[in-house]
A = this chain, B = another copy of it.
């Protein structure tokens, strides 16, 4: 029974789904460095540097900025569990899968959840946001900056302004946006933001960057009840990730090595260049998709750059297309969730995956796989994408 052979190499995959995104070899090399103990000065220095650069990526001066030892959803639960107390009112802007997840967590931690609903792919206007918050007068407001399930990007400024007027704190889900487009936590007025390591930042999954404003920290310190989650308790996390570096958990040292290297790559590229790259590749991809005769699910002005949601053409089985893409081209994209199941493809162009080469490769492969299912492209997707790049340079 104990005779398990050494495992074969993983199959080569081009990860162009909604995450994880491709990881650069340098990051794997960094991750494979020998671990040190959790109080080693080397690790302390590395954690400090990670935290400093996460502040820059988040666009914040929040002292409480660190990478929680868990996935993006652990980041979400860090935000929700620390700020929500039983009996509080949590107002959720509900236009996608992850908005539902926040609502579910809010209920688990005892909040009364009120929701303003929109179809997945739509976003809320400044007026809608203000009216909802002024009507509900919640303690906590939550929205998803980049909805991985729909491909829509929800602006946060008017939400945060209205919340401030109602003396509420704001949670923003930046899982799909951090490192791929400006999240501008301080400028927007967000109090609690979280993300993941494996999308815009380009590291392997397993860590959740989290930042919390002094205003929210004050409320957390003034809680009347203890956070049921010991693992994600901000007050315990804080004691390890900052002075006095007291023992909390044995952090996944190797993942911090990887995140450190990923942030070094982000620094080398420069945040502005990185955002611009994500934008450019998104535009070229859309140009290709539309040239083929497909339509995007989300209106142009609300499209998320890192996650794109072209509509599956009428009469085409999206699963068959995705299976062929994976089996014959080694390309992973995913399908829609919930109300968008079977209706959209979810294409991630993020982190190291957001390149001209990948856009062209994917469009060519997609054209081929759609063609096998009987779809006739209107014009060449690859040519349209190439033209988009040329136009961008000119």
Chain A residues proximal to chain B, CB less than 8 Å: 1-7, 9-13, 15, 17, 19-20, 23, 28-38, 40, 42, 46, 49, 53, 56, 69-74, 77, 81, 101, 104-105, 107-110, 196, 198, 204-206, 226-232, 247-255, 257-258, 260-261, 263-264, 267, 270-271, 332, 334, 337
Contact = CB atoms under 8 A, between A and B. Distances in A.
A73 to B, nearest CB: 5
Nearest to A11: B42
A56 B107 CA distance: 38
A231 B13 contact: no
B105 A230 contact: yes
Contact of A31 (B32, B81, B196): B32
Copies in the complex: 2
Contacts of A1: 56
A31 B254 contact: yes
Contacts of A53: 2, 4
B49 A35 contact: no
A275 B23 CA distance: 37
B71 A251 contact: yes
Given A229-B77, A250-B19, A4 B38 contact: no
Contacts of A260: 7
A71 B69 contact: yes
Contacts of A49: 4, 7
Contacts of A247: 337
A86 B231 CA distance: 19
A54 to B, nearest CB: 12
A73 B249 contact: yes
Contacts of A73: 230-231, 248-250
Contact of A108 (B9, B71, B205, B230): B230
B35 A23 contact: yes
A332 B231 contact: no
Nearest to A21: B35
A70 B11 contact: no
Contacts of A337: 247
18 contacts: A2-B271, A6-B264, A7-B46, A7-B49, A10-B35, A31-B31, A35-B205, A70-B70, A71-B250, A73-B231, A74-B231, A107-B226, A108-B227, A108-B228, A110-B228, A205-B251, A205-B253, A252-B252
